[in-house]
């Protein structure tokens, strides 16, 4: 059974003008390309029935990388809302305060990791097991966390995520990203 295409949780132009409809269309195109490769590889194999989450657990090599990249896109999209959203829950706010001294400190460290990442990749906010929050930069495709860890927020730093709108000004893209982060979604991911 082929895997379905993850869909944007809002209209393509819902994050404009900060993140344009052209940029979101480029994101969808990347997802379609990944999906086509994944479905071609799993057709007729034992991995055909396991779904995207199952591929994260069981696939290897290029198939795992593509599955992780597809999953990451849906995770990234789902936490961006047209008007941004609210504030972190009490539990998440307490963790951010404990580990970063507050939201300003979190953003400072997250942005520093994003700006320092060479080439394409992702920056993640995760919770390490039942312990502290962590910011993890991943070059290329891949997930930030081990099985005990909980991803909370992802920022796509492949050029297609920002080049049409900001060229090589990653800091301007990050500013746009933060304005659209939906803290209700991020908070709901904290277990």
CB of 154 to Fe ion, least distance (A): 10
Q: Which is closer to Fe ion, CB of 109 or CB of 156? A: 156
CB of 159 to Fe ion, least distance (A): 9
Task: Kindly write out the interface string for residues 62-101 of this chain, putting x where it contacts Fe ion by CB under 5 A and - elsewhere.
Answer: ----------------------------------------
Q: Which of residues 138-177 bind Fe ion (CB under 5 A)?
A: 156, 158, 161
Q: Which is closer to Fe ion, CB of 135 or CB of 157? A: 157
Strands 121-127 and 150-156, by their bridges, are antiparallel
Of the candidates 168, 190, 165, 159, which has an alpha carbon nearest to the alpha carbon of residue 180? 165
Cβ atoms within 10 Å of 187's Cβ, excluding its own: 18
Q: Which is closer to Fe ion, CB of 111 or CB of 156? A: 156
Q: Which is closer to Fe ion, CB of 92 or CB of 161? A: 161
Burial call 34-66: b when 16+ CB within 10 Å, e when fewer: bbebbeebbeeeebeebebeebbeebeeebbbb
End-to-end CA distance of the chain: 30
The CA distances from residue 141 to 28, 67, 70, 113, 138, in Å, are 16, 9, 9, 16, 7
Q: Which is closer to Fe ion, CB of 158 or CB of 173? A: 158
Q: How far apart are CA 154 and CA 82, in angstroms?
A: 17
CB of 120 to Fe ion, least distance (A): 9
Query: Site for Fe ion (CB under 5 A): how many residues?
Result: 3
Residue number closest to Fe ion, CB atom: 156
- Applying CB under 5 A, which residues contact Fe ion? 156, 158, 161
């Amino acid at each position: 059974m082929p895997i379905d295409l993850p869909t944007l949780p809002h209209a393509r132009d819902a994050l404009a003008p900060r993140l344009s409809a052209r940029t979101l269309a480029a994101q969808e195109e990347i997802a379609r390309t990944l999906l086509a490769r994944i479905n071609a590889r799993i057709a007729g194999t034992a991995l055909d029935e396991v779904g995207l989450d199952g591929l994260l657990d069981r696939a290897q090599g290029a198939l795992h990388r593509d599955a992780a990249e597809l999953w990451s896109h849906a995770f990234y999209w789902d936490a961006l809302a047209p008007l941004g959203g609210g504030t972190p829950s009490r539990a998440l706010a307490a963790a951010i305060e404990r580990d970063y001294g507050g939201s300003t400190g979190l953003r400072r460290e997250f942005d520093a990791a994003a700006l320092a990442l060479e080439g394409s990749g992702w920056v993640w906010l995760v919770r390490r097991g039942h312990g502290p929050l962590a910011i993890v930069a991943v070059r290329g495709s891949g997930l930030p966390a081990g099985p005990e860890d909980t991803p909370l927020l992802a920022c796509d730093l492949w050029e297609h995520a920002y080049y049409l709108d900001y060229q090589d000004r990653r800091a301007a893209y990050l500013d746009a990203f933060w304005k659209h982060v939906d803290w209700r979604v991020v908070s709901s991911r904290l277990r």
